[in-house]
């Protein structure tokens, strides 16, 4: 795929390609503008692609003419040696499994225009999965796509996890693949996720597979990852011992999800002779290494429930922060991606790997000029930033969401050619989804306010009727537009935004249409509880409804806290990394009208800390916690401390359970435990509480600090 070489130098204006050494760095290139002639000089095709990408990013097309915005003359050398993305052809992808080699090649070029020099593929393994969208088997596509990458001089990395075969068979399987694959520059073998071998066995297998790799591809590099299996608590220490004993057998270590050590600790402890390659997850929103608003864990549950794990998610500002936090410890990165839902993130990340000093807004302007040139670049760039900022706070309180929708609707109206560009349709789809979530939440919160008033007056059927009010015609029309956009994206690029008709492998894999209508208020929960209440005798009915209305209500000196509703900052103590937030709102089997919104987030860590204040002197209080009901018999040191005093230490979870409260007002699969707090432990009405367990950790969704007189079993 070398450019055609002409002996004739065209008259200006023109773009010329020249071959030059560039100091032996095939990622470097230079540009020189002489009058109306631009010369791109590089050692080969890779550098020329970067150069033509820079040219296209800095030009505008108008009235049949191309205009260069400024003089690009200069030398361009990337900051990071490795700049790539994983584009694995497998059944769980939300886009790639529908692609041909030609579509892969087009996407390679798109990403190379932002400096990508590595593509990572995923071999099918001994039991390659295949779905109805795949025109080839995973291995066949992998070979063809690697050949296409080779034609562009694009480095090829393989993500090839261990299997459960005996080592000899496993090596033989890989040897055959390595020999057939047209190009391999690096092999990534994860320690975990997936993988479950002890560290010494893992390294033994890595080295054996590495020998097979070098027999077929002598110059290929070997990169194991420090991703720890969940089932082996001391895996990280053993891994470090194994790696420290190596010399030239591996070329570096990869840092990724489920890591054995935080990045700063890994870099301090890993011998300097081993560089670190970053494996950032820029494709997922929840239940991942870097969830939306990873620095605060405050992405509102209404968005998390409806847009789920792999929605279209431009997060340029957030990933600029992540890049700044990590870039000094690594020599580059190959991101984790399951489709083009993260297309903006990939382009911005590659641009930062190439030039960390580039202004983020310039990268977004380049993205707009390169791909969506029909419209003013600033309008597209501003729209992308507005989408990211639309995810701040409760959507009911964020009017920017409606402004962003109007912005993209105007662009679609004024520049209709944009609707044939999948990147714009993605942005429009997201804007419409955000607006739908906002409108539904505002509508349902209003219904709930009115219904609660009827419930307080014991008019339960009136409350039921209010909560069953149908959506407006305009809401239904917006929902239909979203469906149409999803069908368009499937037609344009095979993007699978639903399991019905659009072939998504499951609801969690980018199937936004499957999760978009998930509960985002207590409307469905109240309807479930009201149906139950209507079956009760009159006295029991009134008591049940009073308890439902008062579930989260507390006196001024008491406290109620929900991870879903209040955010980590309200705890008053920064949680020690690295905790995990198990979000449950997008699971149709869980968030189905039986779970109140306050229980959607399950904090999962070895410890949880929080502060309380404002308690009255000489008053007995109790701490009530709602936990996951999944318990383990081997837990013997579930511990709760109040101002350093041991309130409880013993089997999981201890305390006293209120089974009636749990049955009436808690989600299935959760339970409460209540512990009386000695009044003398509260220092002027204040305390710091620590809940911890050293082996499996604690999983909790909410807690109360209540006067003992207000709790039936302690009154």
Same domain, 90 and 63: no
pLDDT score recorded for residue 231? 87
Average pLDDT score over residue span 463-476? 98
Name the residue with tokens 């002489």.
Answer: 34
Secondary structure class of 142 (helix, strand, coil): helix
d(CA 330, CA 324): 11
Name the residue with tokens 């912005």.
Answer: 407
Q: Which of 576, 348, 549, 349 is nearest to 453 (CA)?
A: 549
Same domain, 56 and 127: no
Same domain, 44 and 115: no
Average pLDDT score over residue span 455-468? 98
Pick the last residue of a domain from 477, 496, 530: 530
pLDDT score recorded for residue 470? 98
d(CA 28, CA 426): 33
Counted domains in the chain: 4
Model confidence over 529-575: pLDDT tens digits? 999 999 999 999 999 999 999 999 999 999 999 999 999 999 999 99
On whether residue 370 sits in a domain, the answer given is no
d(CA 122, CA 118): 13
Axis-axis angle for helices 45-57, 360-371 (nearest 10): 90
Tokens matching residue 121: 């593929």
Model confidence over 623-650: pLDDT tens digits? 999 999 998 889 999 999 999 999 999 9
On whether residue 39 sits in a domain, the answer given is yes
Q: Is the omega angle on the peptide bond into residue 317 within 30 degrees of 0, that is, cis?
A: no
pLDDT bucket at 5, cuts 50 / 70 / 90:
low
Buried b / exposed e over 390-428, threshold 16 CB at 10 Å, is bbbebbbebebbeebbebbeebbeebeebbebbbbbbbb
Q: Which of 148, 331, 197, 181 is nearest to 254 (CA)?
A: 331
Same domain, 237 and 140: yes
Q: Is the pLDDT of residue 1 over 50?
A: no
On whether residue 422 sits in a domain, the answer given is yes
Same domain, 166 and 48: no
Same domain, 181 and 315: yes
Element (H, E) at 533: helix 523-533
d(CA 127, CA 384): 40
Look at the chain and count its residues.
Answer: 715
Percentage of residues in the chain with pLDDT exceeding 90?
Answer: 91
Name the residue with tokens 């209440």.
Answer: 533
Residue 677, domain CATH: 2.60.120.260
Pick the last residue of a domain from 76, 99, 116: 76
pLDDT score recorded for residue 570? 94
Average pLDDT score over residue span 92-109? 97
Secondary structure class of 1 (helix, strand, coil): coil
On whether residue 6 sits in a domain, the answer given is no
pLDDT bucket at 128, cuts 50 / 70 / 90:
low
Name the residue with tokens 């052809």.
Answer: 89
Q: What's the domain range around 658?
A: 553-714
pLDDT bucket at 321, cuts 50 / 70 / 90:
very high
- In angstroms, how far is the first alpha carbon of the chain from the final one? 81
- What is the maximum span of the chain, computed from C-alpha positions, in angstroms? 96
User: Residues near 268 by Cβ (< 8 Å), separated by ≥ 6?
Assistant: none
Model confidence over 495-515: pLDDT tens digits? 999 999 999 999 999 999 999
Estimate to the nearest angstrom the gap between the alpha carbon of 464 and the chain centroid.
37
Q: Is the pLDDT of residue 11 over 80?
A: no
Residue bearing the bigger pLDDT, 132 or 233:
132
Average pLDDT score over residue span 153-160? 98
Average pLDDT score over residue span 204-209? 98
Q: Is the pLDDT of residue 204 over 70?
A: yes
On whether residue 548 sits in a domain, the answer given is no
pLDDT score recorded for residue 126? 53
Q: How many CB atoms are located within 10 Å of the residue 298 CB? A: 16
Q: What are the phi and psi torsion angles at 628 (to 5°)?
A: -65, 140
pLDDT score recorded for residue 9? 66
Residue 104, domain CATH: 3.20.20.80
| Secondary structure of 451-505 in HEC code, one letter for each residue | HHHHHHCCCHHHHHHHHCCCCCHHHHHHHHHHHHHHHHHHHHHCCCCCCCCCCCC
pLDDT bucket at 715, cuts 50 / 70 / 90:
low
Strand partners, 259: 227
Q: Is the pLDDT of residue 163 over 70?
A: yes
Same domain, 238 and 255: yes
pLDDT score recorded for residue 125? 63
Same domain, 86 and 71: no
Cβ proximity of 214 and 248 under 8 Å = no
pLDDT score recorded for residue 233? 85
Same domain, 88 and 184: yes
Same domain, 56 and 88: no
pLDDT score recorded for residue 10? 66
pLDDT bucket at 62, cuts 50 / 70 / 90:
confident
On whether residue 2 sits in a domain, the answer given is no
Q: How many CB atoms are located within 10 Å of the residue 699 CB? A: 22
Strand partners, 671: 627
Q: Which of 685, 686, 682, 660 is nearest to 671 (CA)?
A: 660
User: Residues near 117 by Cβ (< 8 Å), separated by ≥ 6?
Assistant: 27, 46, 78, 82, 83, 84, 154, 155
Same domain, 326 and 258: yes
d(CA 520, CA 597): 7
Model confidence over 426-448: pLDDT tens digits? 999 999 999 999 999 999 999 99
Estimate to the nearest angstrom the gap between the alpha carbon of 499 and the chain centroid.
20
Average pLDDT taken over every residue of the chain: 95
Pick the last residue of a domain from 76, 105, 127: 76
Cβ proximity of 707 and 557 under 8 Å = yes
Buried b / exposed e over 532-557, threshold 16 CB at 10 Å, is ebeeeeeeebeebbeebeebeeeeee
pLDDT bucket at 492, cuts 50 / 70 / 90:
very high
pLDDT score recorded for residue 7? 62
d(CA 715, CA 709): 4
Q: What are the phi and psi torsion angles at 190 (to 5°)?
A: -75, 145
Average pLDDT score over residue span 116-122? 98
On whether residue 377 sits in a domain, the answer given is no
Same domain, 351 and 467: no
d(CA 498, CA 107): 23
d(CA 295, CA 248): 37
On whether residue 153 sits in a domain, the answer given is yes
């Amino acid at each position: 795929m070398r450019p055609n070489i002409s002996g004739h130098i065209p008259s200006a204006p023109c773009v010329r390609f020249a071959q030059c050494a560039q100091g032996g760095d095939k990622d470097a290139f230079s540009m020189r503008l002489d009058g109306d002639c631009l010369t791109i000089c590089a050692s080969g095709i890779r550098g020329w692609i970067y150069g033509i990408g820079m040219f296209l990013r800095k030009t505008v097309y108008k009235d049949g003419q191309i205009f260069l915005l400024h003089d690009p003359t200069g030398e361009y050398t990337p900051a990071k040696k490795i700049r790539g993305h994983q584009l694995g052809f497998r059944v769980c992808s939300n886009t790639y499994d529908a692609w041909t080699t030609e579509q892969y090649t087009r996407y390679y070029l798109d990403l190379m225009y932002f400096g990508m020099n590595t593509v990572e593929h995923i071999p099918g393994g001994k039991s390659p999965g295949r779905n109805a969208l795949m025109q080839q088997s995973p291995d066949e596509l992998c070979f063809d796509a690697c050949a296409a990458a080779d034609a562009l001089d694009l480095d090829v990395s393989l993500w090839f996890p261990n299997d459960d075969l005996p080592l000899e068979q496993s090596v033989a399987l890989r040897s055959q693949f390595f020999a057939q694959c047209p190009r391999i520059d690096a092999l990534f073998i994860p320690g975990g996720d997936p993988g479950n071998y002890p560290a010494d066995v893992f390294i033994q297998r890595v080295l054996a597979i590495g020998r097979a790799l070098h027999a077929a591809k002598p110059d290929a590099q070997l990169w194991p990852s420090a991703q720890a299996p969940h089932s082996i608590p001391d895996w990280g220490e053993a891994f470090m011992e194994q790696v420290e004993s190596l010399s030239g057998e591996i070329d570096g270590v990869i840092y990724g999800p489920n890591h054995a050590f935080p990045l700063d600790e890994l870099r301090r402890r890993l011998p300097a002779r081993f560089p670190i390659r970053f494996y950032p997850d820029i494709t997922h929103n929840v239940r991942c290494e870097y969830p939306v608003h990873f620095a605060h864990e405050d992405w509102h549950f209404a968005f998390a429930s409806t847009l789920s794990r792999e929605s279209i998610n431009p997060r340029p500002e957030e990933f600029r922060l992540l890049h700044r936090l990590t870039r000094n410890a690594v020599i580059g990165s190959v991101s984790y991606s399951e489709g083009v839902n993260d297309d903006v993130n990939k382009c911005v990340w590659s641009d930062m790997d190439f030039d960390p000093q580039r202004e983020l807004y310039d990268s977004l302007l380049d993205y707009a000029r390169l791909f969506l040139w029909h419209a003013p670049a600033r309008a597209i760039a501003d729209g992308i930033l507005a989408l990211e900022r639309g995810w701040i706070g409760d959507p009911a309180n964020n009017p920017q969401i409606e402004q962003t929708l109007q912005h993209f609707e105007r662009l679609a109206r004024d520049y209709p050619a944009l609707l044939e560009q999948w990147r714009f349709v993605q942005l429009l789809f997201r804007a419409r989804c955000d607006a739908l979530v906002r409108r539904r939440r505002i509508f349902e919160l209003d219904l709930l306010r009115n219904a609660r008033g009827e419930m307080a007056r014991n008019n339960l059927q009136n409350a039921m009727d209010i909560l069953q009010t149908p959506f407006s015609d305009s809401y239904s029309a917006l929902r239909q537009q979203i469906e149409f956009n999803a069908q368009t994206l499937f037609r344009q690029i095979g993007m699978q935004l639903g399991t019905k008709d659009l072939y998504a492998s499951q609801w969690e894999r980018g199937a936004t249409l499957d999760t978009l209508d998930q509960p985002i208020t207590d409307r469905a929960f109240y309807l479930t509880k009201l149906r139950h209440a209507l079956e009760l005798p009159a006295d029991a009915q009134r008591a049940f409804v009073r308890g439902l209305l008062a579930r989260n209500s507390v006196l001024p000196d008491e406290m109620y806290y929900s991870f879903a509703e209040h955010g980590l900052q309200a705890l008053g103590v920064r949680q020690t990394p690295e905790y995990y937030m198990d979000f449950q709102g997008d699971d149709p089997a869980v968030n189905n009208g039986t779970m109140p919104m306050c229980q959607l987030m399950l904090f999962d860590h070895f410890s949880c800390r929080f502060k309380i204040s404002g308690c009255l002197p000489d008053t007995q209080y109790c701490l009530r916690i709602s936990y996951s009901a999944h318990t383990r018999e081997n837990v013997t040191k579930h511990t709760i401390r109040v101002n350093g005093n041991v309130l409880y230490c013993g089997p999981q979870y201890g305390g006293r359970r209120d089974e009636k409260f749990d049955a009436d007002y808690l989600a299935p699969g959760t339970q409460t435990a209540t512990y009386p707090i000695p009044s003398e432990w509260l220092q002027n009405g204040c305390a710091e509480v620590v809940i911890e367990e050293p082996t499996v950790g604690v999983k909790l969704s909410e807690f109360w600090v209540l006067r003992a007189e207000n709790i039936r079993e302690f009154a």
